[in-house]
Chains A and B, each alone.
Chain A
């Protein structure tokens, strides 16, 4: 915690590994949310929005 973060330097891209891992984790969570089955989805009501 006391030492500075290590950085990924690839061409013009410069980002700390902690920040990169958070962004990659968010992408993984987003992808899972798109494909993971939602509980009781089959029983959802057919209520139309405006």
Chain B
């Protein structure tokens, strides 16, 4: 690297990427022997479910509430969105159990674990605003009951669950962007360091 080129931020970023995230880490074709377990599949299924959530959500946002309530195709995509979310949460929790019991935060992976915790929290908020955006009696019931909790927590003034526009905007724009961005960061961090080693890889304790 010449002195002239070291001033280039693109060069510095590229070199940092080469150091921390080489392509054989980002798109590996081989994995450690201990990755041969179904427990490691939970995270991938969670990502697949998230992809379906996003695809079905984009379709729903194109056509709107009248369509997803009244037409058979709309109800199909509404159900696809709902059940993808159920699978997303179920497999996210199974992934959480697996990582908890293998202490996935070891050896410099604490930030990866914490980003996963934040994804879990934002996902709950996204699902909550989704329930409020259904445009049916269920959504009204949830909003009318939740408003007291929000006011009791002191956030009702700027997080108004009775305000459909606010809830829908958060649900289809800000919160999904947050979840997607953090999921990408989570995956990149996992790929940069690799999967955590088992606590007792040889199975031999003294």
A41 to B93, CA, bound (A): 25
Does more than half of chain A's interface fall in helix, strand or loop, or is it mixed?
loop
A41-B36, A44-B32, A50-B193 given. 19 additional CB < 8 A pairs? A26-B90, A26-B93, A32-B38, A33-B38, A34-B37, A40-B36, A41-B37, A44-B33, A44-B36, A45-B31, A45-B33, A46-B33, A47-B28, A47-B31, A48-B32, A49-B32, A49-B193, A49-B197, A50-B107
Q: Do the beta carbons of B33 and A26 come within 8 Å of each other?
A: no
The interface residues of chain B lying within 8 Å CB-to-CB of A36 are 38
A45 to B194, CA, bound (A): 14
Q: Do the beta carbons of B30 and A47 come within 8 Å of each other?
A: yes
A22-B90, A49-B194, A50-B194 given; A38·B38 CB < 8 A: yes
Q: Do the beta carbons of B37 and A33 come within 8 Å of each other?
A: yes
The interface residues of chain B lying within 8 Å CB-to-CB of A26 are 90, 93-94
Give B90 Cβ to nearest chain A Cβ, in Å: 6
Residue of B nearest to A46 (CB): B33
The interface residues of chain A lying within 8 Å CB-to-CB of B39 are 30, 33-34
Q: Do the beta carbons of B32 and A38 come within 8 Å of each other?
A: no
The interface residues of chain B lying within 8 Å CB-to-CB of A47 are 28, 30-33
> B42 an interface residue at 8 Å Cβ cutoff?
yes
Query: B156-196 toward A: CB 8 Å interface, digit per residue (1/0)?
Result: 00000000000000000000000000000000000001111
Q: What are 17 pairs between A and B in contact, CB < 8 Å? A: A22-B90, A26-B94, A33-B39, A33-B42, A33-B94, A34-B37, A38-B36, A44-B33, A45-B32, A47-B28, A47-B30, A47-B31, A47-B33, A48-B197, A49-B193, A50-B107, A50-B194
